[in-house]
Amino acid sequence: MLAVHWPVRRLIINADDFGLTSGVNRAIVEAAARGLVTSATLMAQGRRFDEAVRLAKATPRLAVGCHVVLGDGMPVLSASEIPSLLKTHGSAAFYDTASSFALQTLYRTFDPKHIEAEAAAQIRELQNAGIAVTHIDTHKHTHIHPQILGPLLRAASSCGVKAIRNPVEPIAMAQVVQQPRLWKRFLEMKVIHLLARRLRQTVSEADMLTPDGSIGIVATGALDDRLLRSLLQNLPEGTWELVCHPGYDDTELQLVRTRLRESRTNELRLLTSASIRDLLRDRQIELISYRDFVRSGQLS
């Protein structure tokens, strides 16, 4: 009698923006405690950083990484230490739009040493607070740019961090979630695919680990039950990361410049849904954390 081969599919569900607001913090912990979130990435300069650290320590099953911010935010280091990363001379803020950030990478105006120093400072901010940092990713996936990736990997390595997000979503997967409001992000993902091979090679050469790719990036801000089910039903073999942003759309979030408001509440509902958990079981998709992923990589 022939053995039945079941495809091996593993999924990390990572919540971004830990530390952004109390409502985001509460939603992430809820989605970890009674839902499907296995990992989260914490912002070193998040307005609710201290609260997020406390909650993370009280939720040991949650693997916590660093959500490195190099654009649309504030640095940890002083302006004199990283002047090339700031939008104006003597400014205390990064470039605040994706287009302006991309333009700087195109013209190579960022000093790699400044990128490495700031990224390392953000990771160490978490480690100094008692967080065992399991992985890193970047705000708005800026590490897809080769000029950012190399210095970022050096920073992670110097801090003893071994894993990084692969923000490349399969084109076939991305096509599943096409709808007019997502076309722009779909086209952006097609451009990102041009950099996919270089990203994996650079990560490998740095002796770092990265999943096979991510899902949910194209659907950011529009993820609903139908889209999530479609993504999970079409998940390829391998290890993947579902990028999510659960939160509560409260008065504090209204003070934050973000396009993700009501969508955060919708995602929290999905990530605590019994029917989605049943779908994962039926599709034999194993939920793992970044901590599990790093451990499995070290054993192989």
Euclidean distance between the first and the last CA atom of the chain, given in angstroms as a whole number:
30
Q: How confident is the model at residue 4 (pLDDT cuts 50, 70, 90)?
A: very low
The rounded percent of the chain whose pLDDT value lies above 70 is 90
Question: For residue range 58-95, what is the model confidence (pLDDT) as tens digits?
Answer: 999 999 999 999 998 899 999 999 999 998 766 688 88
Q: With beta carbons less than 8 A apart as the criterion, state whether 146 and 195 touch.
A: yes
The first and second tokens of residue 115, run together, are 């990128």
Contacts of residue 190, defined as CB under 8 A and 6 or more positions apart, other chains included, come to 171, 174
Query: What is the DSSP track for 108-136?
Result: T-S-HHHHHHHHHHHHHHHHHTT-----E
- Evaluate if residue 148 carries a pLDDT over 80: yes
Say how many CA atoms lie within 13 Å of 61 toward its Cβ. Answer: 15
Query: pLDDT at residue 299 above 90?
Result: no
β-strands 136-138, 213-215 pairing = unpaired
- Tens digit of pLDDT for each residue in 204-229? 999 999 999 999 998 899 899 999 99
With residue 213 as reference, give the H or E element that holds it: strand 213-215
The structural domains of the chain, ordered by start, are: 10-299 (3.20.20.370)
Distance of alpha carbon 266 from alpha carbon 208, whole angstroms: 33
Residue 6 has pLDDT above 60, yes or no: no
pLDDT above 90 for 174: no
Query: Quick one: tokens of 11?
Result: 């999924």
Higher pLDDT, 254 or 18: 18
pTM beyond 0.95: the answer is: no
Q: What is the pLDDT of residues 253-287, one digit of tens each?
A: 988 888 889 999 999 999 999 999 999 999 999 99
- On whether the CB atoms of residues 72 and 139 are closer than 8 A, the answer is yes
106 touches 73 (CB < 8 A): no
pLDDT at residue number 90? 62
Ranges of H-type helices in 130-195:
146-158, 171-176, 183-193
C-alpha span between 77 and 81 (Å, rounded): 6
Residue 196 has pLDDT above 90, yes or no: no
For every residue of 76-114, DSSP letters joined together read SS-TTT-GGGBSSTT-SSB--SHHHHHHHHHTT-S-HHH
Give the rounded percent of residues in the chain with a pLDDT score beyond 90: 71
Task: Decide if pLDDT at 184 tops 80.
Answer: no
